[in-house]
Amino acid sequence: MSATRPTGSTEPNRLKLSVEGFRLTLRTRLALTYAGLLTLAGALMMLIVYVVVGYLPTYAFAVPATTAEPLQTTPTEPLYDTGIAAAETIPGLIVSSRSDVQTLILIIAAILLVLLAGGGTWAGWALAGRMLRPLQEVNAAAHRAARGHLDHRIALAGPKDELTDLADTFDEMLEGLERSFGTYRRFAANASHELRTPLATTRAMLDVALSGADAHERPLLERLRETNERSIDTVESLLDLTEVDAASADHGIVQLEQVATFVLAEVAEEAEAAGVRIDYRLSTTPVSGDASLLRQLLFNLIQNGVRHNEPGGWVRVTTESRPRTGAELRVENSGAFVADADLESLTDPFFRARGRSTASTSKGRGLGLSIVKAITDRHDATLRFAAREEGGLVATVVFPPDDAP
């Protein structure tokens, strides 16, 4: 379906968006506020001096004490010491009347206000940066927590004020979240381990029963064994998910295209059995990460594209290195249509999108993309999904560049 372009010029809308998107940081606003208040105080002081000088009565400069004779006055001579008042204290400026004094005050006031504005801005910027430095530490801790790193603590030192209270509260929240997630991971791991033994025992019993079953019993036993295998796969996936969440990735330089080559060889047999063609375009793509986790990420994405496909469909794998934006992995597949409303829920455990395989005999376990999301979070990467108009899905993983913080 092609989108229709609205008639009329869009330049005003673009201008409006660009203006609304512009914002000043808190530090800049504080610095400008400090500088504005300082400049306003200086301007009021200069205004008061100017007004006072303007309303003063006529006055004369005092005669030096060493002068013995009084000043001779005539109708054309001023009533003050012209030797002092008419001296050119500033080149090109002669102070000979009250208006000249006011002009001189205005010039000096303008110079002082410029200096006050510049100095106030610099001082305000430095002071605001010092005051807001604790907030930067809280912001950094929040970013780490958003990526799944809950072991970091701010432990802000300094005087007891609102900022230290905020940092302490944030540390308490992180501690509670880490404890809750740790309890969840331990429960999932323990439950999976406990289920492993009975499921393996059931598999062995079903194999024995199948070896001596007659034609009437075999279909039922085969169905039971298939259901048991699905349960075993689910338990293994839960274990994988808890291990990814709990483990800290051992980062090193990994050639993503080489890992993709091995994974494609692993999935080739399943893709051939499903009638799905795999295309690939792999370029040199070094990333910083854990090789085993990245192999699992690629395996789950490609296997997901094979299993949620259709006979005669295809899967396309692309790796590309971009120095500025980071390495990119792209897995695109044909298949059933995926609604846009389901894209954000694809990484939820046991979620099955409408239109994708939901039959009990499907090999999908509903945890593959959850594991992919956990691995991307461990590598500070970005996972995006997009639905194809012709049906199918596009999964894109963008790894941060090497010089990223």
Tens of pLDDT, residue by residue over 231-257, are: 777 777 677 776 666 655 567 888 999
Average pLDDT over residues 100-111: 76
Predicted TM-score (pTM) of the model is 0.54
Average pLDDT over residues 82-101: 54
Pick the residue with more confidence: 60 or 135? 135
**Nearest partner of 112 among 43, 196, 33, judged by Cα:** 43
The total number of structural domains in the chain stands at 3
Residue 185 within any structural domain of the chain: no
CATH number, position 386: 3.30.565.10
Residue 256 sits in the same domain as residue 388 = yes
pLDDT reading at 311 higher than 80: yes
For residue 294, the one-letter residue type is L
What is the per-residue pLDDT for 3? Answer: 42
Residue 80 sits in the same domain as residue 106 = yes
Residue 152 within any structural domain of the chain: no
Using CA atoms, how far residue 327 sits from 24, 249, 288, 302, 373, in Å, is 32, 18, 10, 18, 17
- The per-residue pLDDT for range 187-227, each reduced to its tens digit, is 767 777 777 778 888 888 888 888 887 878 888 888 888 88
pLDDT above 90: percentage of residues in the chain: 15
What is the per-residue pLDDT for 55? Answer: 65
pLDDT reading at 359 higher than 60: no
Residue 240 sits in the same domain as residue 255 = no
pLDDT above 70: percentage of residues in the chain: 72
Residue 263 sits in the same domain as residue 355 = yes
Using CA atoms, how far residue 263 sits from 291, 319, 369, in Å, is 12, 13, 16
Residue 272 sits in the same domain as residue 235 = no
What is the per-residue pLDDT for 354? Answer: 55
Residue 220 sits in the same domain as residue 345 = no
Residue 253 sits in the same domain as residue 323 = yes
Average pLDDT, whole number, for the chain? 75
Domain that holds residue 217: 193-245
Q: Name the β-bridge partners of 318.
A: 281, 330
Pick the residue with more confidence: 304 or 119? 304
Residue 271 sits in the same domain as residue 366 = yes
pLDDT reading at 403 higher than 60: no
